[in-house]
Chains A and B, each alone.
Chain A
Amino acid sequence: MAISNHGEDNLHEEPAHHEQMIAIVRASGNEQLPADQKEQLWQTIAADINRKPRVIRWQLLKAAAVILVLITAGVWSWQQLRSHKESAVVAFAAGQQSIAAGGASRVILGNNKQLVLKGSRTAITYGAGGNSLRVDSQTVQQAVAENSLTFNTLLVPYGNTAFLQLSDGSKVWLNAGSRLIYPIAFTEGKREVYLEGEAYFDIAADPAKPFSVYAADLKVAVLGTAFNVSAYKDDPFRQVVLASGAVQLKPFRGKDTNTDPVTLKPGNKAVYAENAGMAVVNVDISEYISWKEGIIVAAHMPLYEILKKLSRYYNQPIETDTKSGNETFSGKLDLQKSVDDVLNIIAATTSLNYQKQGKKIIFKTR
């Protein structure tokens, strides 16, 4: 710096003194936490990190409408707790085979007929009564049973995505490798669907008929809200990200069924696994729901996460060595592009390159 040129000689004469100011700073403001308090504080931390699931601290909710909605949800889930009856849609899911790895998307109708969908990005819309569904421009009629629920299943293998509008007007975007089971008409006092894989839900408000998503072992109870659920079989965690409204989470099978429900606020992400409990954090939701617009938004996302998403989306096995897999990346990937284009973008903007080994693609540090 400009100043240092005068007095250079003094610097060399007394080099020790330049450390005196530093020594004073180091010797000041060093209060220690008293040993007993330090130990006590650790005990409460240790107790809290081993308790599950984590209870979120409530902040005062200002909008009366929101409180009303939550109370309704609360009362309802309490009634659910009392009845403890297995949901019809969960029972139906248990009797059905899991999703196949590839091929075209299909709708399995109530009479076990299969509707094979053309194209890898299909839109399906159910009419208000549930007795008709439109796939792109084709319309299919279906009888709605009087006294029981008729379930349809939408299968979306790897390499495909789908958009679905249910008979109540709720919208569901299904990501690659997903299965959704739903009644064609919500004739009962509640709306229940079953999900395996990943979906973004935009639920039509209907306080008289609460909506819930059963995802693997986690139940997501909602009223008029938009959120993303990720419950892939090959992921260790279930993940719910709330965009708006409110949802309540509760494991519905496994050993955590007696835990208190956890309520999410917009911007919250909940991560759940039976052996690890539930954790709630705040996230940038765009990172979690951008897939429905055909974009991956990554913010410090580990490479293996990105590749897993691409692998599902393009139905293309992609692997990485553990070293580069943990590196994190930020940015946007446009999934409208071909798989080769996307892989080349990753290679060009990082210190990685990839090679093809048979059908597999392997990323390595250059």
Chain B
Amino acid sequence: MKLTGVTEETLWKNIIAGDQQSFRLLYEAAADMLYAYGLRYSSDKEMIRDCIHDLFTDLYIQRHNLAPTVNIRFYLLASFRRRLHTAGKKSARVLLQEDMSAAETSFQVVFDATDVQSLLIAGEEQRALLQQLAAEMNKLPARQKEILYLKYNCELDYDQIAGLMSISVPTCRTLAYRAIRQLRQEFMVSAAPVFGCLLLSCLKNF
């Protein structure tokens, strides 16, 4: 979700004041992110579109009750997730579970290195390694994938991720740490050792 030419605060303030142009801007900026996020829990595209529709109409109609300062991305994702869950309970097609502390969640993502754009991985060999890394990432438990996705794709922080997934912040950190450790271990064995070590730098950030 990228906003150009306007700060989050200003946009949000305008929306609360009833400015429909700002509201449209928010929709344009956020719809794809929400759509992609919805597909992580359900393949029912119509239901996902319905949830986006309800999220935005309710947001606008109830704008007088909105907190004046929020992290918009987190607000939208959290509200959207609740809606997906409610809609899913009705249709029983969505896989989102109420108790997120259950061993396995339904979060579904296929990590794929094809679209990674970086000058650092120009060579064939490095591309192959990257695909291998993606393959290892796909073996991670769903909840660890979910945290990686929320952290790096949705750019949420641990407090927000924990809030969204109804887990504690330490649990959230531990899960993320485990994901990275597992990737490192797997990669040490299966791929070039040098590449395995690289992941250590991820650990440094936790």
Q: Which residues of A contact B (CB under 8 A)?
A: 1, 3-4, 6-7, 10-11, 14-33, 37-38, 41-42, 44-46, 48-49, 54, 271, 279, 281, 300, 302, 326, 328
For residue A97, give the distance in angstroms from its CB to the closest CB of chain B: 31
Kindly list 14 other residue pairs between chains A and B, CB separation below 8 angstroms, not including A18-B202, A28-B134: A1-B203, A4-B203, A17-B198, A18-B200, A20-B118, A27-B115, A27-B117, A28-B149, A29-B40, A29-B109, A33-B35, A41-B53, A271-B64, A328-B67
B99 contacts the other chain (CB 8 A): no
List which B165-206 residues lie within 8 A (CB) of chain A.
Answer: 177, 180-181, 183, 194-195, 197-206
B148 contacts the other chain (CB 8 A): yes
Q: How far is the CA of A30 from the CA of B53 in the complex (A)?
A: 19
- Tell me the dominant secondary structure on chain B's binding face: helix
For residue B143, give the distance in angstroms from its CB to the closest CB of chain A: 14
Within 8 Å by CB of B52, from A19, A29, A41, lies A41
B164 contacts the other chain (CB 8 A): no
Return chain B residues, CB-CB under 8 Å to A27.
Answer: 112-117
Q: How far is the CA of A11 from the CA of B203 in the complex (A)?
A: 10
Return chain A residues, CB-CB under 8 Å to B74.
Answer: none
List which B113-137 residues lie within 8 A (CB) of chain A.
Answer: 113-118, 120-121, 130, 133-134, 137
Within 8 Å by CB of A279, from B61, B113, B195, lies B61
Contact A7 B177 (CB under 8 A): no
- Tell me the dominant secondary structure on chain A's binding face: helix
Q: How far is the CA of A25 from the CA of B181 in the complex (A)?
A: 16
For residue A226, give the distance in angstroms from its CB to the closest CB of chain B: 22
B7 contacts the other chain (CB 8 A): no
Provide 28 A-B residue pairs closer than 8 Å at the C-beta atoms, listed in order of the A residue.
Answer: A3-B181, A3-B200, A3-B203, A4-B203, A10-B197, A10-B201, A18-B204, A19-B118, A22-B152, A25-B111, A25-B152, A28-B115, A29-B36, A29-B40, A29-B110, A29-B149, A31-B32, A33-B32, A33-B35, A38-B28, A41-B52, A44-B53, A45-B56, A46-B20, A49-B56, A279-B62, A281-B62, A326-B68
Contact B53 A45 (CB under 8 A): yes
Return chain A residues, CB-CB under 8 Å to B32.
Answer: 30-33, 38
User: Whose C-beta in chain B lies nearest to the C-beta of A28?
Assistant: B111
Counting residue pairs across A and B whose Cβ atoms lie within 8 Å, the total is 155
Return chain B residues, CB-CB under 8 Å to A328.
Answer: 67-68
Contact A24 B57 (CB under 8 A): no
B71 contacts the other chain (CB 8 A): no
Q: How far is the CA of A71 from the CA of B11 in the complex (A)?
A: 44
List which B17-39 residues lie within 8 A (CB) of chain A.
Answer: 20, 23-24, 27-28, 31-32, 35-36, 39
Return chain B residues, CB-CB under 8 Å to A29.
Answer: 36, 39-40, 109-110, 149, 153
Q: How far is the CA of A24 from the CA of B116 in the complex (A)?
A: 6
Interface size on B, residues (CB 8 A): 60
Contact B27 A45 (CB under 8 A): yes
Return chain B residues, CB-CB under 8 Å to A3.
Answer: 177, 181, 200, 203
Contact B201 A11 (CB under 8 A): yes
Q: How far is the CA of A32 from the CA of B39 in the complex (A)?
A: 10
B93 contacts the other chain (CB 8 A): no
Q: How far is the CA of A31 from the CA of B36 in the complex (A)?
A: 5
B89 contacts the other chain (CB 8 A): no
Return chain A residues, CB-CB under 8 Å to B139.
Answer: none
Q: How far is the CA of A209 from the CA of B18 in the complex (A)?
A: 41
Return chain B residues, CB-CB under 8 Å to A16.
Answer: 120
Given A1-B177, A27-B113: A20 and B39 interface contact (C-beta under 8 Å): no
Q: How far is the CA of A273 from the CA of B115 in the complex (A)?
A: 51
User: Whose C-beta in chain A lies nearest to the C-beta of B115?
Assistant: A27
Q: How far is the CA of A326 from the CA of B113 in the complex (A)?
A: 46
Q: How far is the CA of A93 from the CA of B206 in the complex (A)?
A: 67
Within 8 Å by CB of B116, from A18, A23, A41, A271, lies A23
Within 8 Å by CB of B200, from A7, A28, A41, lies A7
Return chain A residues, CB-CB under 8 Å to B133.
Answer: 20-21, 24
Which of B53, B194, B201 gathers most chain A CB within 10 Å? Answer: B201
Within 8 Å by CB of A4, from B27, B35, B65, B200, lies B200
Q: How far is the CA of A61 from the CA of B116 in the complex (A)?
A: 51
Instruction: Produce 1/0 per residue, B46-74, CB < 8 A to A.
Output: 00010011001100111011011000000
Return chain B residues, CB-CB under 8 Å to A45.
Answer: 27, 53, 56-57, 60
Contact A17 B177 (CB under 8 A): no
Return chain A residues, CB-CB under 8 Å to B112.
Answer: 24, 27-28
Contact A24 B134 (CB under 8 A): yes
User: Whose C-beta in chain A lies nearest to the C-beta of B118?
Assistant: A23
Return chain A residues, CB-CB under 8 Å to B134.
Answer: 24, 28
For residue B167, give the distance in angstroms from its CB to the closest CB of chain A: 19
Q: How far is the CA of A281 from the CA of B63 in the complex (A)?
A: 11
